[in-house]
Amino acid sequence: MASTTSDLAFITMLFGESHGDESRTGMISSPRLLPAVNIWAIIRFELSDLPIDTNYETNDQFFGNLPRAPWKLCFCRDCHFAPSHHTRHGDTPGTFPQSSVSRSSTDDPGKREAPDGAADGSGPVAEGTATHQEKLQRPDGKIELREEDCWDKLGFAFPKWKKWGILSVIFAVQVSMNFNASIYANNVTPLSSHFGISEQAARVGQMIFLVAYAFGSEFWAPWSEEIGRWPIMQMSLTLVNIWQIPCALAPNFGTIVVCRALGGLSSAGGSVTLGMVADMWEPDEQQYAVAYIVLSSVAGSAIAPIIGGFLTKFLSWHWNFWLQLILGGFVQFLHFWMPETRCSILVTREAKRRRKRGENVWSADELREKGLGVRDVLVIWARPFVMFIREPIVLCLSLLSGFSDALIFTFLASYKLVYEQWGFGPVDTGLAFIPIIIGYFMAYASFLPWIHRHCRVRERDPDALKPEARLYWLLWTAPLEPIGLFGFAWTSLGPPLTHWIAPMIFSTLIAIANYAIYMATIDYMVASYGPYSASATGGNALARDLLAGIAAMYSIPMYQNIGHRLHLEWPSTILGCLAIIVTTPIYIFYWWGPKIREHSRFAQTLASERRSRGAHVTTCGTGTSGPEEAYFGTRSRAPSQCTSRGRGAASGADGADGAV
């Protein structure tokens, strides 16, 4: 009691408010001292390894007659970041903070409160909240460290500058991966001449990389959910860079084909990077980050032909691979300094740190009785494929995005043939991709006002927007794809009928639509599946890259052999007709989205868990069985998830923003 009394005397001295008896009674009677008490609590706790007073009853007496404060301060060590701990102290609902340094309930509307009857310690505890006694029920006496006990160590709690710093490095990594997939097209003619093969045969190197890339994303994504984002990304970048060396030194074309296939399988792809977005942003706050990462994916594919044109003209074919290695090594160096973001990994690290201080706490990963068996490994690998087949959300949106990407890839393959009519060489044809990049940035900028509007609406009412609201802007931008393809087709007549700037203008419209489709579908899936977004978006990557790889083989023959006099115009016209068919399901999904979500069992299961727990996502490395194990068939646990404390805790009819 002497310690707390001296603390109060110090606060009173600083803030000049005293009623004469505080030092004697140990009570605070003025609400104006509450900020001072909170600040002093932070200083005392953060700068000292010793608890201020582990006797809660003493502290309760000390703060007992606060004038109807929205919360009480508890100075015991367990309460520092453990909102559930207060339930065993007998606090009434709404009177305790989430931590001894936490915000008030008005600042954190997503926090969990104890229900009626918990005031005396005998009532039930809020659903999903473990009491201290429950944590001690393990026969070995170990206490499980949960995410609410170390929330400040998780990616959600990173400061904004740190989140966007990590995201900027991931932007560079994503550009590098898509750069590798696209720049090979500039090497087709040089490789054909050097190895004495046809250009169609030389395109096998591009096709095999894209197809392998599609399955590589599926391979790496679930493992990033198991062992962490950082090691998976470093392993992927290392292998991709290694396979560039034999490609550059290849004595025959077969070596290039094999190493390109291995390079594609080694590419983690955007599924892991989008999983990192889910690690650091809650579903209702992640749209800015998703838009930024999607821009990196599409921009990398457009930057490659621009640089590739200069490589083709001024350097040998070997430098096509050396440049990929240089860029890959640079982004790997940048990524090496990035922190881990996966929730379960961060909880394990915090548990180890606390054990060094003498606390008997363990993460769920450490408490697991056995390691991963063969069956668990197979289930983990199969997870993206299971979601792709069994989840209508993943299947429908992935096919929509995949077929759209295949149309765009086919259209871009015609650039060399189209612009040769105006005398464009390799460099000029590469520069013709600049309007594509402009279109991508225009599309990115067009999404920002809508994202801002959605955020403001959710601040006023978390239940106001249904998940399909994320597709609304796509309703207006998707028609630009068929419009752009039709316009590109009939402005490709060549001189003197049309100017070369005309097809470039229409290509800008196509780029806007391509970005919008990718952005909206990815945003919907990342929000739907949270920490499982790497597996969900792996299905999207599978569809996009697989269909693009197939398109690499038929695109040029299609533009060379359909028709006679208008052999460049009719293929693009056919693509425009297909674009109408491909984009029509967007409107079906927008209007009948709730029915489709009803059949997405895993998304509905996660939404139900979020609503019942008052959070966006379920658990982060808890050792108890949950709906994830039942869905995926894992023996011990599903990939850990993080509890989100943001808005929209119990939102949405039919899942609404609880599901997305």
User: Which residues sit opposite 294 in a β-bridge?
Assistant: none
Residue 519 has pLDDT above 50, yes or no: yes
Token code pair at residue 524: 């919907």
Residue 256 has pLDDT above 90, yes or no: yes
Domain identity same for 161 and 97: no
CB contact at 8 A, 460 and 386: no
Once rounded to an integer, what is the mean pLDDT over residues 123-152? Answer: 60
Residue 276 has pLDDT above 80, yes or no: yes
Residue 69 has pLDDT above 90, yes or no: no
Domain identity same for 68 and 179: no
Domain assignment present for residue 74? The answer is yes
Q: What's the rounded Cα separation, in Å, for the pair 143 and 156?
A: 23
Domain assignment present for residue 337? The answer is yes
Residue 288 pLDDT level (bands cut at 50, 70, 90)? very high
Report pLDDT for 92: 37
Closest CA to 294 of 384, 388, 171, 411: 171
Most confident of 23-37, 443-457, 603-617: 443-457
Report pLDDT for 203: 92
Strand, helix or coil for residue 143: strand
Residue 55's domain comprises: 1-101
Residue 314 has pLDDT above 70, yes or no: yes
Q: Which residue has the higher pLDDT, 58 or 434?
A: 434
Residue 361 pLDDT level (bands cut at 50, 70, 90)? confident
Strand, helix or coil for residue 53: coil
SS3 annotation, 337-378? CCCCCCHHHHHHHHHHHHHHCCCCEECHHHHCCCCCCHHHHH
Q: What's the rounded Cα separation, in Å, for the pair 207 and 260?
A: 9
Domain identity same for 474 and 548: yes
Dihedral sign for Cα 306, 309, 310, 311, please.
Answer: positive
Residue 30 has pLDDT above 50, yes or no: no
Q: Which residue has the higher pLDDT, 365 or 124?
A: 365
Once rounded to an integer, what is the mean pLDDT over residues 496-509? Answer: 91
What is the Cα 24 distance to its own chain's centre?
A: 55
Residue 283 has pLDDT above 60, yes or no: yes
Report pLDDT for 658: 33
Q: What is the pLDDT of residues 188-233, one digit of tens each?
A: 999 999 999 999 999 999 999 999 998 887 788 778 878 889 999 9
Report pLDDT for 531: 63
Domain identity same for 297 and 437: yes
Report pLDDT for 301: 87
Residue 17 has pLDDT above 80, yes or no: no
Once rounded to an integer, what is the mean pLDDT over residues 335-355? Answer: 89
Q: How many CB atoms lie within 10 A of CB 300?
A: 24
Residue 610 pLDDT level (bands cut at 50, 70, 90)? low
Tokens 């030389």: give the residue. Answer: 202
Residue 530 has pLDDT above 90, yes or no: no
Which percentage of the chain shows pLDDT scores above 70?
Answer: 69
DSSP type of residue 151: G
What region does 656 belong to: left with phi over 0, alpha with psi -120 to 50, or beta?
Answer: left
Q: Which residues have a Cβ under 8 Å from the Cβ of 358 and sit 6 or more positions away?
A: none
Domain assignment present for residue 120? The answer is no
Domain assignment present for residue 149? The answer is no
Report pLDDT for 277: 87
Residue 630 pLDDT level (bands cut at 50, 70, 90)? low
Domain identity same for 358 and 443: yes
Once rounded to an integer, what is the mean pLDDT over residues 508-533? Answer: 84
Q: What is the pLDDT of residues 442-492, one digit of tens each?
A: 999 999 999 999 888 888 887 777 778 888 899 999 999 999 999 999 998
Domain identity same for 321 and 214: yes
Domain identity same for 446 and 528: yes
Q: List alpha helices for 196-342, DSSP H.
A: 199-202, 204-227, 229-248, 253-266, 270-280, 287-314, 318-336
Domain assignment present for residue 71? The answer is yes
Q: Which residue has the higher pLDDT, 535 or 408?
A: 408
Residue 155 has pLDDT above 80, yes or no: yes
CB contact at 8 A, 556 and 200: yes
Residue 333 has pLDDT above 90, yes or no: yes
Q: How many domains does the chain fold into? A: 2
Q: What's the rounded Cα separation, in Å, for the pair 309 and 327?
A: 17
Report pLDDT for 392: 82
Residue 331 pLDDT level (bands cut at 50, 70, 90)? very high
Q: What is the pLDDT of residues 73-97, one digit of tens each?
A: 343 434 433 333 443 334 433 333 3
User: What CATH number corresponds to the domain at position 339?
Assistant: 1.20.1250.20
Closest CA to 548 of 433, 399, 403, 389: 403
Domain assignment present for residue 128? The answer is no
Least confident of 289-298, 505-514, 625-634, 643-652: 643-652
Amino acid letter, residue 297? S
Q: What's the rounded Cα separation, in Å, for the pair 555 and 552?
A: 6
Residue 109 has pLDDT above 50, yes or no: no
Domain identity same for 533 and 388: yes
Report pLDDT for 528: 73
Residue 514 pLDDT level (bands cut at 50, 70, 90)? very high
Once rounded to an integer, what is the mean pLDDT over residues 382-404? Answer: 82
Domain identity same for 353 and 249: yes
Domain assignment present for residue 139? The answer is no
Residue 257 has pLDDT above 80, yes or no: yes
Residue 100 has pLDDT above 70, yes or no: no
Report pLDDT for 413: 87
Residue 146 pLDDT level (bands cut at 50, 70, 90)? confident
Q: At which of 79, 101, 123 does a domain end?
A: 101
Q: How many CB atoms lie within 10 A of CB 42?
A: 12
Domain identity same for 176 and 303: yes
Domain identity same for 86 and 164: no
Report pLDDT for 625: 45
Least confident of 154-163, 257-266, 540-549: 540-549
Q: What is the mean pLDDT of the chain?
A: 73
Q: What's the rounded Cα separation, in Å, for the pair 296 and 178?
A: 9
b/e sequence 144-176, b meaning 16+ C-beta within 10 Å: bbbbbbbbebbbbebeeeebbebbebbbbbbbb
Q: What's the rounded Cα separation, in Å, for the pair 617 and 531?
A: 8
Q: List alpha helices for 81-158, DSSP H.
A: 132-135
Domain identity same for 282 and 392: yes
Closest CA to 296 of 286, 285, 306, 304: 304
Report pLDDT for 250: 93
Domain assignment present for residue 495? The answer is yes
